[in-house]
Structure 1
Amino acid sequence: MRIISGDFGGRKIEPPGHMPHTRPTTDIAKSGLFNILQHNVELSGAVTLDLFGGTGAISYELASRGAASLTVVEKDPTMADFIRSTAEALGISGLTVLRVDVFQFLAGARNGALGAASGDAAARGGAADVATGGGGYDFIFAGPPYALGNIDDLPGLVTPLLKPEGMFVLEHTPRNSYKNEPLFRQERSYGTTVFSFFINRT
């Protein structure tokens, strides 16, 4: 796995050998995604949220392009630790990893705080901070497991967290379509990987 472009462009990252719950976005799909983003989102100084963080690859790309505040939500402790250590090795500042379930995080963001059941004090405090003090996100990415049963709930849960003109990108398979969702703007396909784009624009 490598970082495509920006300050850390060309850096190779070796993810853990055993990742039973993680499906990294392919380099081809990731390259296509960021080609679109560079013409549609001001990433320099952006406040970003990466849901189902996995290896953290999307957030490394965002940081490489100048994102100032990055929150990654990843409940798997091995992957959460990997993201933290990789960010430290790359010298990425402003990146926070919350080890908590994504839907629990989203419920906390809607209510202004995260419930105490996560078992991760840093996650509880961080979620409350981003939900009440951050003013929303410029860019949100979600790359959930393709077999996630409630993936169709994500647009409705995530888009309220966007700043005006903020963008949400949902990665999914061709089996899902979000063209009738409010704020949907476009869909791009890279083999079996599909990105749906939502913009908080009235």
Structure 2
Amino acid sequence: MTRIIAGRAGGLRLKSVPGSATRPTTDRVKESLFGRLDAWGMCQDARVLDLFAGSGALGLEAASRGAAVVTLVEKAATAAKVCRENAALLAASCPETKLTTVHSGVAGYLGRAPFHRWDLVLADPPYPLENAELTRLLSLLVGRLGPGGVIAVERAARTEEPVWPEGLRRFETSVHGETVLWFLEADEETAAD
């Protein structure tokens, strides 16, 4: 069972996606991820996009910590249903956060979604997703980060670091046992060209 770690809904238990196709982020990794994001002021009043949302735990953690808008994007029907259920559980604790669940693949959603500038993008793709495909999907976010916006990518530590798309650059890495977190931002040199 996954839980919200901190914020207005701290301690709230979330439903898990049945089966083994979805890999939940451990509390230890979540604490590290959100410790950094909170230190950078990334959650308060933020527009958050949670890609490959699974149960929605990462996006809902951001909501608990003060995000204004959280959009959960999940392709698998069963997981998208769990996202909706978990968002409904959290809504009572975070009524001021606009929570939306989208049953769609990442490319499909970003290709048709209204243009938004996201403050924080959380991407926890399935480990079997090839790095080339991850790079392609992340390229769809170029130009869609707000000022100071951050993309946090969670992968298996044994996975080779992807080639980041032009327009994004990695500025920090954090390894936690079997998990690596890469933090990306807009590459201002590329943006200035």
Please indicate, yes or no, whether the TM-score normalized by the shorter chain is above 0.5: yes
Partners of 2:29 and 2:163 in 1: how far apart?
20
Q: CA deviation at 1:76?
A: 1.2
What secondary structure, in the 3-state scheme, does the structure 1 residue paired with 2:136 have? helix
Partners of 1:201 and 1:7 in 2: how far apart?
34
- The residue number in structure 2 matching 1:171 is 154
1:183-202 equivalences in 2 (<5 Å)? 183-200=169-186, 202=188
**Which 5+ residue runs of structure 1 have no aligned equivalent?**
109-113, 115-126
Partners of 1:76 and 1:50 in 2: how far apart?
14
Distance 1:140 1:180, change over 3 A: closer
Is the counterpart of residue 98 in structure 1 residue 102 in structure 2?
yes
1:62-141 equivalences in 2 (<5 Å)? 62-91=62-91, 92=94, 93-106=97-110, 108=111, 114=112, 127=113, 129=114, 131=115, 134=116, 136-141=117-122
Partners of 2:187 and 2:43 in 1: how far apart?
18
Paired residues of 1:178 and 1:196 also in contact (CA < 8 A): no
What is the TM-score normalised by the length of structure 1?
Answer: 0.81
Distance 1:59 1:180, change over 3 A: closer
Q: CA deviation at 1:21?
A: 2.4
What is the TM-score normalised by the length of structure 2?
Answer: 0.84
What secondary structure, in the 3-state scheme, does the structure 1 residue paired with 2:23 have? coil
Partners of 2:60 and 2:164 in 1: how far apart?
31
- Identity among equivalent pairs (%): 35
- The residue number in structure 2 matching 1:13 is 14
Q: Which runs of 4+ in 1 moved over 3 A?
A: 178-182
Partners of 1:171 and 1:48 in 2: how far apart?
16
Partners of 2:11 and 2:134 in 1: how far apart?
32
What secondary structure, in the 3-state scheme, does the structure 1 residue paired with 2:3 have? coil
Q: CA deviation at 1:154?
A: 3.6
Paired residues of 2:119 and 2:148 also in contact (CA < 8 A): yes
Between structures 1 and 2, the one with greater strand share: 2
Distance 1:23 1:159, change over 3 A: farther
Between structures 1 and 2, the one with greater helix share: 1
**Which 5+ residue runs of structure 2 have no aligned equivalent?**
189-193
Q: CA deviation at 1:9?
A: 0.7
